[in-house]
Structure 1
Amino acid sequence: MTLVLEEGKQVELKENGVFAIVAITKHGVNLARGLHSTFQQSDLFYMSKFEKGDEDTRHIQLFEGNVRLLLPSLFQSYKGIIMIVSLGAVVRMIAPILKDKKTDPAVVVIDDKGEHVISVLSGHLGGANELTKEVANILDAKPVITTASDVQKTIAVDLFGSRFGWEWESAKFLTPVSASVVNEEHVAIVQESGEKEWWNYDHPLPDSIKVYASVEEAIEAKPKAALIITHRQLNRNEQLILENGVLYRPKVIVLGIGCNRGTSLAEIENVIEKTLEELRFSIKSVKAICSIDLKKDEEGLIALAQKYNWDFICYSADELNKMSIQDPSDTVYKFTGAYGVSEPAAMLYSGSKDLALVKKKSGNVTISVALIPY
């Protein structure tokens, strides 16, 4: 099927991949066809005048009209767009449809000879820089990346810890803190929890970036900016560090949950929220909820895991009974075959023998809280 591009009309695409490859020249089409055959997660679009007859069997989509009219549909449908079009033309075409760096797809440009692959849009958050490297590797081309943190091989503030699943508490200071990093100003790092292997270059941290043992120590050092990694809610005095800082939430909290059959999502969620507030922990740092395998079909727990995108892990009674817990219960054993559910489940998943909260019963829910040690 050939797509006919008309002004003001949305195009209905046949999507198979997560990346779109677009070509508009004879040489570009040949290059794109080769890339498409290697890059498994891609869909290919090129002008119908370059039709070769095998497009249907190769799931290639042809189009007629100005490629500019295809871009709004591609922006909505794909994680990344690889264009074998001149850089200047691409910049002019995408300018009217740009929205926000948090939602715009990655855009990568390849020259007509396939010698250079250029990261154009959404280099960090959208993944264009990584896509550029991947495509350049396939084509044996030169990747062109201009993002300061990548060029300087330092911390990319907006991506810091993203490979571990860390979340920022707020994006408010991403830009000024990034500026402090690339301008080699004094930047403090405090890490209270989470993965330690976040520095992945073969050279030491720049001298301008200092690691401190506590938030208080970092405040005393009076840095220009700060990166704080913790599952904990900061107190009022500690929040001074965030005047030009980014707070990251590592996924380290494990919730062991026991509940009566049919307990609602709302009740379980309410207990979790109140418990974390009492502990002064952030819900953004929760990684998993754990229970006994008798609860693997519990609708409230399933809905909770889906709502927050948490792991939901269930263990057998035998697995739970291997853990040494503070408060074994004969009553729980009578109904489940395990001497405890929330405590040993949290310990098993986290790998920690010490619990932040041993056990609390509230209504139909019993909860224990563990932290994953790194």
Structure 2
Amino acid sequence: MTNPYAAVAITKHGVDKARALAERLPGIDLYYLSKWARGDEAQLGYRLFEGPVKPVLQDLFKAYKGLMIFISLGAVVRMLAPVLEDKTKDPAVIVIDECGRHAISVLSGHLGGANELTLAAAKAIGAKPIITTASDVQETIPADLFGREFGWEIEGYGKMVSVSASLVNEERIAIVQEAGETRWWTYDKPLPAHIAVYSHAQEAMQAEFDAALVITDRLLEADEEAALLENGVLYRPKTLVLGIGCNRGTSAEEIERMITSTLSELRLSVKSVRNAATILLKKDEEGLLDVCRKHKWKLEFYTPDELNQIPLKNPSAAVYKYTGAYGVSEPAALRSSGAAEWLLEKRKSGNVTLSIARVPLASGGAAGS
């Protein structure tokens, strides 16, 4: 495989449409029966196969992010049934009739991206997209995709099915948003009356609701968790920025220990860390680089002049002597996050100095807008 998606066809007309799709939609490896070879397959990178398609489909199912199959829906279901695992693991599968009239989202519509793939494929060949997931049909929030475009991380899928049912059945929904991007309502209509937005967990706990979507970078208190997550889903937006300074040669273990213990003490989730930031002098600091690689955090670097543009409450002459900046962790956190204040101005322990800032909520726009 060289691309994330595979298209498969076994009939003459299916091959015509599959080739058209591969030409118009990027990221596709094309497979079809060798009896329909046209002689240009090697040049175009198309793959030919002999014999039954079932083992081919089952192998491709395990290798690709998504399959676009020009075979009847019933046949595809029967052939793929033995290899189905779980909606959090299975790839996207869409079926397109051999005349290219209909593109149907079959498997992993939300988490696997089949619905989006269906729309893209249909547009590419002029087909009618068929999507049957309830949240898409009703134009409401898909709980398993909520905030995905912003990078939000779901913490626990245990109540996903029941919360999704509450959404599509138009039961009372409490959305608690304490942090994160707010332009999550993408439909061209007002937020429905059965969905209420609250700015804090305690506010929502005074209301009556049937299900909750909780967006926060805080660690919930026991009473909040009991009330909101009994039938709720917790989302971790990427809102925390770590400004980090350290002595040369500081180990990754010491840096990580400082970060995790401080976040825990402040009741903040490590899953909500968006990135770290420091001075350009630390671009080769292995311990810091290792921590960021481990957690998949982007590490941003600033010159002393860039850091000195951020006003500090406690500028340090000693830090300036060695770095040319009056501070490292504090201005790096504010500059990277766009915040006006710190959640933690500065804490020093051993060889590490840490500051924490939160990306402003207002940067995402008005909730539900």
TM range (shorter): over 0.9
Q: 1:223-372 counterparts in 2 under 5 A?
A: 223-239=209-225, 240-372=227-359
Sequence identity (%): 57
CA displacement at 1:241 relative to structure 2: 1.2
> Which residue number in structure 2 is paired with residue 11 of structure 1?
none
- How far apart, CA to CA, are the structure 2 residues paired with 1:238 and 1:221? 13
Determine whether 1:210 maps to 2:196. Answer: yes
Give me the CA root mean square deviation.
1.0
Determine whether 1:373 maps to 2:360. Answer: yes
Q: Which amino acid aligns with 2:201?
A: V
- How far apart, CA to CA, are the structure 1 residues paired with 2:127 and 2:36? 24
SS of equivalent to 2:16: helix
> Which residue number in structure 2 is paired with residue 137 of structure 1?
123
Determine whether 1:32 maps to 2:18. Answer: yes
> Which residue number in structure 2 is paired with residue 193 of structure 1?
179
CA displacement at 1:72 relative to structure 2: 3.0
> Which residue number in structure 2 is paired with residue 122 of structure 1?
108
Q: Which amino acid aligns with 1:336?
A: T
- How far apart, CA to CA, are the structure 1 residues paired with 2:330 and 2:243? 6
SS of equivalent to 1:157: coil
Higher relative contact order (CA 8 A, sep 6+): 2
> Which residue number in structure 1 is paired with residue 72 of structure 2?
86
Flag structure 1 segments of 5+ consecutive residues without an equivalent.
Answer: 1-14
> Which residue number in structure 1 is paired with residue 5 of structure 2?
19
Q: Which amino acid aligns with 1:314?
A: F
Determine whether 1:100 maps to 2:86. Answer: yes
SS of equivalent to 1:256: strand
Q: 2:52 aligns with which of 66, 72, 95?
A: 66
- How far apart, CA to CA, are the structure 2 residues paired with 1:185 and 1:40? 40
- How far apart, CA to CA, are the structure 2 residues paired with 1:156 and 1:58? 38
- Cα contact 2:5–2:27 (8 A) shared by 1: yes
- Cα contact 2:58–2:79 (8 A) shared by 1: no
With normalisation by structure 2, the TM-score equals 0.96
- How far apart, CA to CA, are the structure 1 residues paired with 2:253 and 2:314? 27
- How far apart, CA to CA, are the structure 2 residues paired with 1:303 and 1:68? 44
- How far apart, CA to CA, are the structure 2 residues paired with 1:338 and 1:61? 58
Q: Which amino acid aligns with 1:147?
A: T
Q: Which amino acid aligns with 1:224?
A: D
- How far apart, CA to CA, are the structure 1 residues paired with 2:246 and 2:140? 46
CA displacement at 1:309 relative to structure 2: 1.6
CA displacement at 1:310 relative to structure 2: 1.3
CA displacement at 1:77 relative to structure 2: 1.9
Determine whether 1:220 maps to 2:206. Answer: yes
SS of equivalent to 1:158: coil
Flag structure 2 segments of 5+ consecutive residues without an equivalent.
Answer: 362-369
Is 78-87 or 264-273 further displaced after alignment? 264-273
SS of equivalent to 2:157: coil
> Which residue number in structure 2 is paired with residue 9 of structure 1?
none
CA displacement at 1:329 relative to structure 2: 1.1
Aligned pairs, how many? 360
- How far apart, CA to CA, are the structure 2 residues paired with 1:39 and 1:222? 47
Determine whether 1:49 maps to 2:22. Answer: no
SS of equivalent to 1:366: strand
CA displacement at 1:184 relative to structure 2: 0.7
> Which residue number in structure 1 is paired with residue 367 of structure 2?
none
Q: Which amino acid aligns with 2:264?
A: E
CA displacement at 1:212 relative to structure 2: 2.3
- How far apart, CA to CA, are the structure 1 residues paired with 2:169 and 2:260? 40
CA displacement at 1:354 relative to structure 2: 0.4
With normalisation by structure 1, the TM-score equals 0.95
CA displacement at 1:147 relative to structure 2: 0.2
SS of equivalent to 2:43: coil
Moved over 6 A (4+): none
Q: 1:169 aligns with which of 148, 155, 167?
A: 155
